[in-house]
Amino acid sequence: MDKGAFRISMMKQGCQKPNNFYRFYGRKQAVLALWGIIPFLLIIYLFVYEKIKLIDAVTLFSALAVFSIMIGLSFFRRSADKFVSESTGPEIMEAEEKGEPMRIQVDRELSDIAGNIDSVLRKVNEANRDMKEQTVQLMIYARDLSLSHRRMKEEQELRYRLSRYVGENLVEKLINSKDSLFLENERKQLTILFADIRSFCTMAERMSAEDVVSMLNEFFGIMVDIIFRNNGILDKFVGDQLMALFGLIPSENSAPHDAIKAAIEMQDATEDLMKQRAKQDKETFEIGIGINTGSAIVGNVGPENRMDYTVIGDSVNVAARLEQIASEGQIIIGEQTYRQTQGLFHMRKREEIYAKNKTEPVICYEVVR
């Protein structure tokens, strides 16, 4: 029989005495059995000493038979009661769980009933097992749910941080790719681009604050799109100046190539924008761009709640210097940038310049559009 099913053992009196109840019950049974002798003793007494007739004997015997049956029934009833008391309540389930046999002291008919209960219990057992399996399954679902919730939160945070520096299309790409952790602190070979509006201050003085802000917003909006399109990241705006980094996002072109391409597009887009503004009788301006390539440290700098992902290094200072010497509509690049893009663009050499903290003169080139 299955481990799950419970066994019935027909206990014989005196074989096993598992508890006090049985001991007491066994003694009582013996006393009851003795009662059965009483009618026979009575018959013998009546025949021998009273000399009664046969017909009287039959009548008397019938009465005694009824009496005996009643005693028998009460005895049987007791054992059935005991079976019921054993087979109800949680004890039966407990016995089943411990794999203990159910102790029944009954006649054969009751073993059929016990057999039925046996099969019911087997079903209950199966249902119980199913339920446990389902609970485990549910726990796994809950675990996965919290896992994916945590991942989603992390992704959202990363998305928020990324969207400050790169374009929306790139945010998706970076989140899906494994190497999305470019917001870490490291020393890297980078191409830095500075662009600013020439003679912005004198122009701004002639304009209302609203006009200056809306002009800058329109202009920067276009510039940022171009930078994002060319795999650059936007480092920061400083007034009318914009700073972008190339070489942090994987690209099919080299970083200097992407930067110069972006610079040309920025100059072209600015010209287009100025033509529109001229038609509307609005103030117009031109921009100068400086690009330099070199080693720099990128990282999150600043107090904890004002952290800024930025770049530090000599090559950054040189790029800023190149932007300063670029006149209206010009793109000036450093030597490293030139070497890595030779032949890709039309470029001509410019006079050497001296940058801050640099004893050696800086060799620079102009990109001819």
Partner 1 sequence: MKKILIVDDQVEVRELVEVTLRSGDYQVFQAESGEKAIEIARAVKPDLIIMDIMMPGGMDGLEATGALKNDPETNGITIIMLTAKGQEADRKTGLGAGADDYFVKPFSPLELIKKVEEVLG
Residues that bind partner 1 (CB under 8 A): 133-134, 136-137, 140-141, 143-144, 147-148
Sequence-distant (6+) residues with CB within 8 A of 95 are 6, 101, 102
- Which residue's CB is nearer to partner 1, number 137 or number 327? 137
Q: How far is the CB of 140 from partner 1 (least distance, A)?
A: 5
Please provide the size of the chain in residues: 369
Q: How far is the CB of 126 from partner 1 (least distance, A)?
A: 12
- Which residue's CB is nearer to partner 1, number 134 or number 327? 134
- Which residue's CB is nearer to partner 1, number 137 or number 169? 137
The C-alpha atoms of residue 217 and residue 214 are separated, in whole angstroms, by 5
- Which residue's CB is nearer to partner 1, number 119 or number 295? 119
The token pair that represents 241 in the structure block: 């100046």
- Which residue's CB is nearer to partner 1, number 84 or number 136? 136
The C-alpha atoms of residue 168 and residue 164 are separated, in whole angstroms, by 10
The token pair that represents 184 in the structure block: 């870490």
- Which residue's CB is nearer to partner 1, number 140 or number 312? 140
Q: How far is the CB of 90 from partner 1 (least distance, A)?
A: 28
Residue 287 phi, psi (nearest 5) = -120, 155
Q: How far is the CB of 145 from partner 1 (least distance, A)?
A: 8
Q: How far is the CB of 130 from partner 1 (least distance, A)?
A: 8
DSSP state of 248: S
Q: What is the DSSP string of 97-141?
A: HHTPPEEE---HHHHHHHHHHHHHHHHHHHHHHHHHHHHHHHHHH
Residue 335, Cα to own-chain centre: how many angstroms? 49
The C-alpha atoms of residue 221 and residue 39 are separated, in whole angstroms, by 118
The amino acid that residue 52 corresponds to is I
User: Do the bridges between strand 287-301 and strand 186-197 make them parallel or antiparallel, or are there none, so unpaired?
Assistant: antiparallel
- Which residue's CB is nearer to partner 1, number 94 or number 130? 130
Q: How far is the CB of 105 from partner 1 (least distance, A)?
A: 38
Q: How far is the CB of 2 from partner 1 (least distance, A)?
A: 17
